[in-house]
Amino acid sequence: MDDRRVGLIVRALRRRRGWRQVDLARAAGRSQGMVSLVERGHLDRVSLRVVRLILAALEATAVIEVRWRAGALDRLLDEDHARLVGVIAERLRRANWSVETEVTYAHYREHGSYDILAFHPSSGIVLVVECKTDLPSVEGALRKVDEKVRMAPMVARERFGWQPNGVARLLVMPEISTLRRRVGRHAELLRGSFPSGSVHMKQWIASPSGPAAGLWFLSPTNAHSGIRRPGGRERVRRPTARSGNDEAVA
């Protein structure tokens, strides 16, 4: 976020409405001093919530773009997503599912790709697996999953010769507190599409009986998952005993 540019935009939008700083402050429920700080580009002295309130009063929104090492961030996110897909695919194979990853489809205006499309031969169930390392739009994610579930029988038959008699859906996310909170805020909406939890879905994968739909939080501390624990402080434990020449651990 370019602090100075945000300030110039706020000032231009305010003047376009014919408002004084005090008018904008009143509309945003903040003080005139805060509006002044934002317009002068001193965003480090106000909270992000204040910036959003001021912009919302002007019918504008703020988008934060994180950049890191000239494009390496996209590769990092792709790596985490690929690791999540790999973990679930391996679990399904161990439970005797036929598994295909990154399966693309295109039918009229509907097109996209499945993270995982799996088939359980003895039950005839096709499973649509959506792996998410982030959930910026719950409504958008649900619409896309609905499309993939609707397309799954056709893709299964035409691409792999599977003969499905039912379609199940599974949303998989890493066990991260921010994702848990986001899911909690949209619990009612998500429950309609993914009513079952992690424990039930693990049991169902091992022995599917009819279509199921659930959300599975995969623990990053699971030794078999390969999912990295998100950032946080790393602790170094002091040794319980040291010789006289040993230096303390900093």
- How far apart are the two ends of the chain, measured CA to CA in Å? 35
Whether 128 and 204 share a structural domain: yes
pLDDT in tens, 34-58: 999 999 999 999 998 999 999 999 9
Q: Which domain holds residue 82?
A: 72-218
Residue 214 included in any domain: yes
Query: Does position 202 have pLDDT exceeding 90, yes or no?
Result: yes
Whether 93 and 152 share a structural domain: yes
Residue 48's contacts (CB-CB under 8 Å, 6 or more residues apart) are 62
Q: What is the pLDDT of residue 206?
A: 94
Query: Does position 222 have pLDDT exceeding 60, yes or no?
Result: no
Whether 159 and 44 share a structural domain: no
Residue 146's contacts (CB-CB under 8 Å, 6 or more residues apart) are 193
Of 72-76, 195-199, 227-231, the one with minimum mean pLDDT is 227-231
Whether 98 and 213 share a structural domain: yes
Residue 15 included in any domain: yes
Which CATH number belongs to the domain containing residue 50 in this structure? 1.10.260.40
Query: Does position 203 have pLDDT exceeding 60, yes or no?
Result: yes
Residue 62 included in any domain: no
Residue 227 included in any domain: no
Report residue 31's pLDDT band, with 50, 70 and 90 as the boundaries: very high
Whether 202 and 102 share a structural domain: yes
* The Cα angle at residue 185 between residues 181 and 187, in degrees rounded to 5: 105
Residue 240's contacts (CB-CB under 8 Å, 6 or more residues apart) are none
Q: How far apart, in whole angstroms, are the C-alpha atoms of residue 129 and residue 80?
A: 16
Torsion sign across C-alpha atoms 126, 85, 105, 157:
negative
pTM of the model: 0.61
Name beta bridge partners: 173.
217
